[in-house]
Chain A
Amino acid sequence: MSAGQLRLCHRDDIPEGAARGFLPLPDAPRNVIVVNRGGQLHAYMDSCPHYRGGTPMAWRKDAYLDAEGAHIACHAHGALFDIETGACVSGPCLGRKLTRVPLSEAPDGSISVPAQVAGRAARES
C-alpha cells in the first residue's frame, strides 16, 4: 500500500452484486461504500446528498442496495442512485450525485482509498 492510502478490504471481501461499508479509520465520520458490479468495484462516500452535510444511507450494516440490488439506495427517504455513476435517478436528491471515491488495487488484491477520505463527511460535487 502506497503512502497516503488507507486499506479498506480485500477485493474478495465484496462478492459480485454486493455492497459493503468500511470506515477508512476507526474515528472517520463516514463509511466508504464499495459495490461490486460485474467484477468492477465502485466506491462512494456513505453520504446522501439530500441534506447539507450528507447523511448515512444504509438501514442496517452493509444494507446499501435496494431489494433488487439494481441501485444504491438511501434508506432515509428512498433515493436511488446509479451504481456506475453515483447519479440520483429517483427520490429527493434527483439531479445530484454521490461523492465518488477513487480506489487503488494492489497486486495482492488489497483495496485502498486516499487518506483524506477519512476526514471527509460532507458531500463534495
Chain B
Amino acid sequence: MRIIGPDYLVFGVDDLEGSKTYLEDFGLKPVQLDDTGWLYEALDGTGVIIRPKSDPSLPAPLETKNMLRQQVYGVEDASVLDEIEAEMSKDRRVTRLSDGSLEFKDDLGFELRFQVTIRRELSMPAEKINAPGAPAQRAPNELGVTDDMAALPRSLSHVVLFVPDMEKVVSFFCDRLGFVVTDVLTGAGPFLRPQANDDHHTHFFIRTPAYMQGCEHLAFHMGGPTELMVAGDRFVRKGYQSFWGPGRHKFGSNWFWYFNSPLGVHFEYDADMDKHDDTWVAREAPNGPEASQIFLLQWREKWAPSGGPEGGSGA
C-alpha cells in the first residue's frame, strides 16, 4: 500500500491561545480552517491542526488525558484509498467522507484518517557543506551561515505513540497497512516506515501502561543540522523549554532537538535522517542512553574566550 506518512496530526487543546503562539514560534504557518480550527503548516503543507478540546467536530478523545485526537495520513492516489477501504472493511466500520478520504480506528482505539496526500512538492537545497577530499558544495563566496538565515520546518516527519499493546499495533500497521520495521529499540519498541516513504521512520512506538496511551512526540524535518540548531536556539531564546538535545540519534542518524509544548507532547526538530529500501535488515539494540544517540549536547548562552578580569582586552 502506497502510504506516504502523516499529513496532519489533530489535537484538542486546553490552552488554545498558548498553543497558537507556540506553534507559530516553532516556525509553522497559521491557516485558519473555520471558526474553531487552525492548521499550522510546514513548508510542504503538512502540519498540526488544533481545536479547543470541547469542539464537537473533533473525533472522540482517548481515554487518557492525551490531547491527540486524530492522525491523518497521506497516500499516493485514490486507488490506495480503495485498497485500504477494502482491507479495513473486513473487520471494522470505515467511513468514506465526501472528499474521498477514509476514517476508522486502529486496533488500540487511535482515530485515523487516510487521504490523497496534500503535500506540496518542495524544491529547496539541503544544507550544503564543504570538506577536504570532496567537491565543495557551496560556490566561492557562498556563505554557510548568516544572522537572518531561514530555519523553518519543511515537512512533518514522524509521530511517536505510547502504546499499551505492542503486538497489536505492530501487526496492525505491518500486516494490514504494509509498513515495515526498520529498527528496534528493545524495551521501548520498533521504528516503522510505510511503503511510499524511504525515511528511516514515520513511526516509533513505545510500550507503556494503558493510562499513558497517546502521542509522545511529533517531529518536523529541517534543512540540515545547522538549520535545526538555529531554529532550536531561536526557540530557546523565546523562552521555550528544551527537553532533550540537540544531539544525533543512532537509529535513523537524524539530528534531534525536543521541546515541551502546551499540547502535552514533545515537538522535535529533526534533520538528515537515513533513507532505506526493502533490502535493509532491521537492527536491534537495548533501549537506553547509549543506543539512543551518538552524542548529546545542551544549549547554553553565547560565550567566547575573550577579555575578563584577569587582564584580557575585555572588548
With most chain B CB atoms within 10 A of its CB, the pick from A55, A58, A76 is: A76
- Select which of B65, B239, B242, B243 is within 8 A of A91 by beta carbon: B65
Q: Which stretch of B2-10, B116-124, B169-177, B257-265 is in the interface? A: B257-265
Q: Is the CB of B239 within 8 A of A77?
A: no
- Contact residues in B for A76 (Cβ distance below 8 Å): 243, 260, 266
Residue of B nearest to A73 (CB): B264
Q: Is the CB of A92 within 8 A of B208?
A: yes
Distance of A22 from chain B, by nearest CB (Å): 15
Q: Is the CB of A63 within 8 A of B18?
A: yes
B287, CB-defined interface residue at 8 Å: no
A63 to B241, CA, bound (A): 10
Q: Is the CB of B65 within 8 A of A80?
A: yes
A44-87 interface mask toward B, CB cutoff 8 Å, 1 = contact, 0 = none?
00000000000111111101001110000111111010000000
Q: Is the CB of A75 within 8 A of B67?
A: no
Q: Is the CB of A77 within 8 A of B216?
A: yes
Q: Which residues of B line the A interface, CB within 8 A? A: 13-15, 18, 22, 64-67, 162, 208, 211-212, 214, 216, 238-243, 259-262, 264-266
Q: Is the CB of A77 within 8 A of B14?
A: no
A115, CB-defined interface residue at 8 Å: no
Q: Is the CB of A59 within 8 A of B216?
A: no
Q: When A and B form their complex, which 8 residue pairs have the shortest distance between CB atoms, in order from nearest?
A: A78-B264, A67-B14, A67-B15, A61-B239, A75-B260, A59-B260, A92-B212, A59-B262
Q: Is the CB of A56 within 8 A of B241?
A: yes
Q: Is the CB of A77 within 8 A of B212?
A: yes
Distance of A64 from chain B, by nearest CB (Å): 10
Distance of A122 from chain B, by nearest CB (Å): 15
Q: Is the CB of B265 within 8 A of A59?
A: no
- Contact residues in A for B266 (Cβ distance below 8 Å): 76
A63 to B15, CA, bound (A): 11
Residue of B nearest to A59 (CB): B260
A59-B241, A80-B65 known; A75 and B212 CB under 8 Å?
no
Q: Interface on chain A toward B: helix, strand, loop, or mixed SS?
A: loop
Cross-chain pair count, CB within 8 angstroms: 68
- Contact residues in A for B65 (Cβ distance below 8 Å): 78, 80, 90-91
Q: Is the CB of B243 within 8 A of A63?
A: no
- Select which of A56, A60, A92, A94 is within 8 A of B239 by beta carbon: A60
- In the complex, 22 of the A-B residue pairs with CB atoms within 8 angstroms, ordered by the A residue number, are A56-B242, A57-B241, A60-B22, A60-B239, A60-B241, A60-B262, A61-B239, A63-B18, A63-B262, A67-B14, A75-B264, A77-B162, A77-B216, A77-B264, A78-B214, A78-B265, A90-B65, A91-B64, A91-B65, A91-B212, A92-B162, A94-B211
A55-B243, A61-B239, A94-B211 known; A75 and B261 CB under 8 Å?
yes
- Contact residues in B for A60 (Cβ distance below 8 Å): 18, 22, 238-241, 262
- Contact residues in B for A68 (Cβ distance below 8 Å): 14
A67 to B19, CA, bound (A): 11
With most chain A CB atoms within 10 A of its CB, the pick from B238, B241, B259 is: B241
A80 to B211, CA, bound (A): 13
A61 to B212, CA, bound (A): 25
A38 to B212, CA, bound (A): 31
- Select which of B211, B238, B239, B241 is within 8 A of A75 by beta carbon: B241
- Contact residues in B for A58 (Cβ distance below 8 Å): 241, 260
Residue of A nearest to B216 (CB): A77
A73 to B14, CA, bound (A): 12
A118 to B259, CA, bound (A): 23
Besides the known contacts A55-B243, A56-B243, A61-B239, 5 further A-B residue pairs in the complex with CB atoms under 8 A apart: A60-B22, A75-B261, A75-B264, A77-B264, A92-B212
- Contact residues in A for B67 (Cβ distance below 8 Å): 78
Residue of B nearest to A57 (CB): B260
A62 to B216, CA, bound (A): 22
A66 to B53, CA, bound (A): 13
A56 to B258, CA, bound (A): 12
A13 to B65, CA, bound (A): 31
